[in-house]
Structure 1
Amino acid sequence: MLEPAERYTGYTAYDYLEPGVDYREFAYAKQIGRVPEYQGLALSDDQAERAARLLREETVISLHEHVQVFPEDMGQLRDHIRQGREPTGYEGLSRSGLTAVFDNGMDGTCCISSDAGWKYQDVLFDLGVRMADLAHQDYVIKGETLKDIQYAKETGRVAHIFALEAATPIENEVDRLDVLYGFGVRQMGIAYSEANYLGSGLKERGDGGLTYFGERAVARMNKLGIAIDISHSGDRTCVDVIKASTKPVFITHAGARGLWPTNRMKTDETIVECAKRGGVIGIEAAPHTTLSPEHPRHSLESVMDHFRYCVDLVGIEHVSFGPDTLYGDHVGLHHAFASQLSIGQAHGHVDYEEVEYVDGVENPTEAMANIIGWLVKHDYSDDEIRLVVGGNTLRVLEEVWV
């Protein structure tokens, strides 16, 4: 476990407000020690020292997380969300070793005014409140450019990059992309499991591909400098987006369907087409996603099976990590929002053993540290580790961001 970053002063979310007066207080999950530390690596002293050095020295970027903290009592989840004041896990981030993190916030659970979620005004409220909180401390900074990531690295900070898993809130208004960019959004998905004006999500029975409006939206995202994510899009829509975009695209958080046959995983064709055009796949670790025949009980080992599969398929230059973790009971969140998150349709008819948490990649604090430890244990070189924990992502951002 890392010590807190030197620059972190102990700030907690919304310290500038008065709890019970300005907002309703909830008891939140522990950011550190909610579950036992992972014991599966068993590194030698030399390996542990090398892993710590790499985590400390390299530019470490997670392509996909939700770095807010959830209520300790998930029965209070709806009331907490309707308040619209998600707390960023500053303490956990201070021990993570991350240089930059793509944070998707409330995302598919953005249900401030409607249980259906994805309302434009709700998303703007969520973004604005989170940014107001970031502005009241000096450790986690708003990341919008490559210079911001470099500055975070040089000064011992974390660059927090706002992202959305779907463009659903723009409805049929392409100019809303400009507004969201102005609010700091620098990465955006096409569709989140359900179809929208742009294209099909991965849960739908049929996939009509990228729509004409979707083509306009992709073109606008390219012009603005918003990185495109196809993690939750349907198979045909994924390939259409890759071909329509003038810039490389991300699969920020997924795995390989060739290893685990669910809609939530990507086909070999999609992964290959993404890589052929310079894109990158970030390997997913949210509960009950990246399972494998060799490791059907979800853990770090299951996740890394998908990493190896994708490296063998497209080369190490096109693989990174988007663990998709949070602070709190992720499985409980899935249970509470099974319909919005399309859990059943994403898994289809594949049976799996439910776990309480994914051992080794339970939250944003431990995810990249344990991934680096695994890579060290399995004799990946410093150059290879540098690529997959940040270098590949930076290469794409250099081409996509303005």
Structure 2
Amino acid sequence: GINIFHIAVGTGGPNAYANTLDFVSKWNSFLAGQDERFMRIDSPGDLDRVKKSGKIGIILGLQNSEHFRTAADVDYFYGLGQRVSQLTYNSRNYIGDGSTERTNNGLSDFGVTIVGRMNQIGMAVDVSHCGEQTSIDACGVSKKPVLITHANARALNPQQPRTKSDDAIRAMAKTGGVMGITGVRMFVKGDEPTTIENYLDHFDHVARLVGVEHIGVGSDIDLDGYDDMPPEENKRLRASYKGSYGFRDKIDIEGVDHPKRMFDLTEGLIRRKYSDDNIRGILGGNFRRVLAEIWTVPPVAKAASQ
């Protein structure tokens, strides 16, 4: 079964710092009161300990880094348990451009500073929602592996802004990073029919392009999926994104729209002739390896700015 969840959400706007502090604090409060069932994942050792404990591991991440007003804020939120930070959400911030911006500017000087501090302290750099040039620039300046925790291949869905070009995927792989493939219907394919086979095509494309060691699962969907949401909540979700997202009648893909979909994905990977070792890597081993590398930082580096 699933041992660890990365519970990142997108925060931002004029109250980004306060909103993010509220989000992280509430999760820490919840975890403190549920320690017999859940465990916050803070270190490489925790990735092993949580599996042996029988608990569910929670990785605190954010899908926007707008709460980093200065490099010192990276340290502060690291101290609160944040271990992954996406540089931008879909819109521009002081760090760089998001994937649905009409421009394609790259990483700012401030963004270079933030990435550098994240590398030093051991916080993973995520570029899933970042624009093309911001994604490539982040890979160019990072001294640690860069993650694309949840996206799809642009070569298979060229008009979708939440996909990554082959150039961006190669740049990620050059850092030693991993790309998680989403099962979101309009990210997987731009028209109908859209099936689990189209979803599997994205795994194949990235494997052929950069190697299976750079692939993971980044479902971008909770256990029950989007289409089971209450109608009004679903309507609000769709209204919060630009038209370029290309919502259709359904957001989930039949066959991988239920809590046990990892079994269906595994069967699909077996059909596509992936080896057992490769499947273990895709289902978590690759992310585990890379997160351990990112989070392993000499104590002197963490203390450098103090």
Instruction: With the length of structure 2 as denominator, give the TM-score of the two structures.
Output: 0.87
Superimposed CA distance per residue, residues 148-199 of structure 1 (whole angstroms, 9 cap, x where no aligned partner):
11011112222110111110222x3222211211121111101101000000
Determine if the alignment matches structure 1 residue 151 to structure 2 residue 56.
no
Q: Between the two proteins, what is the percent identity of the paired residues?
A: 32
1:400 to 258, 282, 294: 294
Change (3 A) 1:299 1:264: same
Determine if the alignment matches structure 1 residue 345 to structure 2 residue 247.
no
Change (3 A) 1:301 1:117: farther
Aligned partners of 1:156, 1:142: CA distance in 2, in Å?
A: 13
Q: Look up the match of 1:99.
A: 3
Aligned partners of 1:287, 1:399: CA distance in 2, in Å?
A: 32
Aligned partners of 1:324, 1:228: CA distance in 2, in Å?
A: 17
Aligned partners of 1:195, 1:325: CA distance in 2, in Å?
A: 24
Q: Look up the match of 2:108.
A: 211
Change (3 A) 1:129 1:238: same
Tell whether the 8 Å contact from 1:263 to 1:346 is kept in structure 2 after alignment. Answer: yes
Per mean C-alpha deviation after superposition, the further-off stretch among 373-382 and 173-182 is 373-382
1:379 to 273, 288, 299: 273
Aligned partners of 1:118, 1:102: CA distance in 2, in Å?
A: 23
Determine if the alignment matches structure 1 residue 169 to structure 2 residue 63.
no
Superimposed CA distance per residue, residues 71-90 of structure 1 (whole angstroms, 9 cap, x where no aligned partner):
xxxxxxxxxxxxxxxxxxxx
Mark the runs of 5 or more structure 1 residues left unpaired by the alignment: 1-96
Aligned partners of 1:284, 1:196: CA distance in 2, in Å?
A: 24
Aligned partners of 1:118, 1:259: CA distance in 2, in Å?
A: 37
- Tell me the SS of whatever aligns to 1:285: coil
1:326 to 212, 219, 222: 222
Determine if the alignment matches structure 1 residue 389 to structure 2 residue 283.
yes
1:122, CA displacement in angstroms? Answer: 1.6
The 5 Å alignment of 1:1-400 reads: 97-104=1-8, 107-108=9-10, 119-137=16-34, 138-170=36-68, 172-261=69-158, 262-291=160-189, 296-327=192-223, 330-331=226-227, 333=233, 335-338=235-238, 340=240, 342-347=241-246, 353-355=248-250, 357-362=252-257, 365-400=259-294
- Tell me the SS of whatever aligns to 1:391: helix
1:376, CA displacement in angstroms? Answer: 2.7
Superimposed CA distance per residue, residues 21-52 of structure 1 (whole angstroms, 9 cap, x where no aligned partner):
xxxxxxxxxxxxxxxxxxxxxxxxxxxxxxxx
1:118, CA displacement in angstroms? Answer: 6.2
- Tell me the SS of whatever aligns to 1:169: coil
Aligned partners of 1:221, 1:213: CA distance in 2, in Å?
A: 12
Q: Look up the match of 2:304.
A: none
Instruction: With the length of structure 1 as denominator, give the TM-score of the two structures.
Output: 0.67
Tell whether the 8 Å contact from 2:186 to 2:245 is kept in structure 1 after alignment. Answer: no
Superimposed CA distance per residue, residues 207-233 of structure 1 (whole angstroms, 9 cap, x where no aligned partner):
220000000000011011111110111
Aligned partners of 1:372, 1:251: CA distance in 2, in Å?
A: 21
- 4+ residue segments displaced more than 6 Å: none
Tell whether the 8 Å contact from 1:161 to 1:186 is kept in structure 2 after alignment. Answer: yes
Tell whether the 8 Å contact from 1:228 to 1:249 is kept in structure 2 after alignment. Answer: yes
Aligned partners of 1:393, 1:224: CA distance in 2, in Å?
A: 19
- Count of residues in Structure 1 that have an aligned counterpart in Structure 2: 290
- Answer with 1 or 2: which has the greater Rg: 1
Superimposed CA distance per residue, residues 359-381 of structure 1 (whole angstroms, 9 cap, x where no aligned partner):
23325x32323222222343322
Change (3 A) 1:98 1:328: closer
- Tell me the SS of whatever aligns to 1:147: helix
Tell whether the 8 Å contact from 1:298 to 1:355 is kept in structure 2 after alignment. Answer: no
Tell whether the 8 Å contact from 1:99 to 1:158 is kept in structure 2 after alignment. Answer: yes
Change (3 A) 1:354 1:118: farther
**2:5 alignment partner AA:** V
1:336, CA displacement in angstroms? Answer: 0.7
| Greater helix proportion | 2
Aligned partners of 1:206, 1:375: CA distance in 2, in Å?
A: 37
Aligned partners of 1:393, 1:329: CA distance in 2, in Å?
A: 22
Tell whether the 8 Å contact from 1:99 to 1:149 is kept in structure 2 after alignment. Answer: no
**1:306 alignment partner AA:** H
Q: What is the CA RMSD across the aligned residues, in angstroms?
A: 2.2
Superimposed CA distance per residue, residues 327-377 of structure 1 (whole angstroms, 9 cap, x where no aligned partner):
55625555313454x342344xxxx752263223325x3232322222234
Mark the runs of 5 or more structure 2 residues left unpaired by the alignment: 297-306
Aligned partners of 1:98, 1:128: CA distance in 2, in Å?
A: 24
1:121, CA displacement in angstroms? Answer: 1.2
Change (3 A) 1:334 1:168: farther
